[in-house]
Amino acid sequence: MSCDPGETVGAFLCQAGQMLRAAAIEHPRMEARLLLGHAMGATAEALLRDPRAPVPPEAVCRFRAALAARLAATPVAHILGRQGFWTLDLAASPATLIPRPDSETLVEAALEAFPDHEAPLRVLDLGTGTGCLLLAVLAERPRAFGIGVDLVPAAAALAKENARRNGLADRAAFLAGNWAEALAGRFDLVLSNPPYIESAAIAGLMPEVSRHEPRSALDGGADGLGAYRLLAAALPELLSPGGAAVIELGAGQLGAVEGLAAQAGLLPTGCRPDLGGVERALLLRPGGRESKKSVGAGPPAH
């Protein structure tokens, strides 16, 4: 299909869509609207309402720069500086993994594990990145308090900003540190999306991921299970009686991670699949009689 001539919204969208499609971008028309809307400060709906509208010269320059970056495999979230997740609008940067819809499965599993809307949960997010998991749970549980920990100081700072921009800063704290080593106290809910890609497989990922997302958030060691070993060792000392951990899994890792958890005295109590059918959100409980007790109240010591 040919494009209309001239520097109109419709012409730019058509041209950009063709270029993105030729570069094997999965959703070329949608991404063209996102990039042009970002350059013009307009919504995708506004662009579609008036395709004959001219594109201001300053927006043309911004759009061409954004399109060139996308064609060079820069993730859209990095170009826009933001990413939607759950009900949240999150700032995104190369310091963190970009939140993905698959990870919303962990939020669903956590809310199902603690269905009381008013539960005063103490929540911990290990490897918090943008803060997406912790902040999504806090948004749904208004009496909960949470701590997010990330090894990368820039990630912890970004998560703090995301708490502020989503009105959750008074119930969230973020630390830069080596996961649980920076903490004292126990938690009702522990969340984690750890690095779980095998080291040798990272180079074969999509270039948007392998070139632009932090290796520390991807690399799970030779077998992809390095971070799960650390989690299994730490969780028995972090979980409150009656608490639960919800851990993200990579494809095909369920059996191995359940085995590591069981060796540490944890009880795997179910795994929720994502929309693609991958077993994604593993629920773990403390072992022994304490796992049947009710959750506690109040913020944790930190």
pLDDT at 282 over 70: yes
Within this chain, do residues 194 and 258 fall inside the same structural domain, yes or no?
yes
CATH number of the domain to which 259 belongs: 3.40.50.150
Within this chain, do residues 180 and 153 fall inside the same structural domain, yes or no?
yes
pLDDT at 182 over 80: no
DSSP 61-121: HHHHHHHHHHHTT--HHHHHTEEEETTEEEE--TTSPPP-GGGHHHHHHHHHHS--TT---
pLDDT at 125 over 80: yes
pLDDT at 6: 56
pLDDT at 289 over 60: no
Q: For the residues 139-148, what does the mean pLDDT come to?
A: 97
Q: For the residues 106-127, what does the mean pLDDT come to?
A: 97
pLDDT at 46: 86
Which residue is listed with tokens 């962990």?
106
Within this chain, do residues 16 and 151 fall inside the same structural domain, yes or no?
no
* Range in 41-55, 153-167, 195-209, 288-302 the model is least confident about: 288-302
**Residue that is last in its domain, among 72, 93, 109:** 72
In a domain, 2, yes or no: no
pLDDT at 219: 84
- C-alpha 216/C-alpha 194 separation (Å) is 9
Total count of domains within the chain: 2
In a domain, 43, yes or no: yes
**Residue that is last in its domain, among 72, 93, 119:** 72
Give percent of the chain above pLDDT 90: 80
Give 212's pLDDT tier (boundaries 50, 70, 90): confident
pLDDT at 293 over 90: no
- C-alpha 268/C-alpha 276 separation (Å) is 22
- Reported as half-sphere exposure (CB side, CA atoms, 13 A), residue 207 has a value of 9
φ and ψ of 246, to 5 deg: -120, 115
pLDDT at 198: 92
Q: For the residues 121-135, what does the mean pLDDT come to?
A: 97
Q: For the residues 149-170, what does the mean pLDDT come to?
A: 96
Range of the domain at 25: 9-72
- C-alpha 221/C-alpha 208 separation (Å) is 20
Q: For the residues 227-249, what does the mean pLDDT come to?
A: 95
Within this chain, do residues 51 and 198 fall inside the same structural domain, yes or no?
no
Q: For the residues 200-226, what does the mean pLDDT come to?
A: 90
Q: Helix axis angle, 132-140 relative to 153-165, nearest 10°?
A: 30
pLDDT digits (tens, 9 = 90+) for 16-58: 999 999 999 989 999 999 999 999 999 888 888 888 999 999 9
**Residue that is last in its domain, among 52, 72, 92:** 72
- Over the chain, what is the mean pLDDT? 90
pLDDT at 288 over 80: no
Q: For the residues 272-296, what does the mean pLDDT come to?
A: 75
Q: Which helix (H) or strand (E) holds 284?
A: strand 279-286
Look at 83 and 45; give whichever has higher pLDDT.
Answer: 83
Look at 7 and 196; give whichever has higher pLDDT.
Answer: 196
Please name which of 266, 243, 137 lies closest in space to residue 186, comparing C-alpha atoms. 243
- C-alpha 12/C-alpha 6 separation (Å) is 8
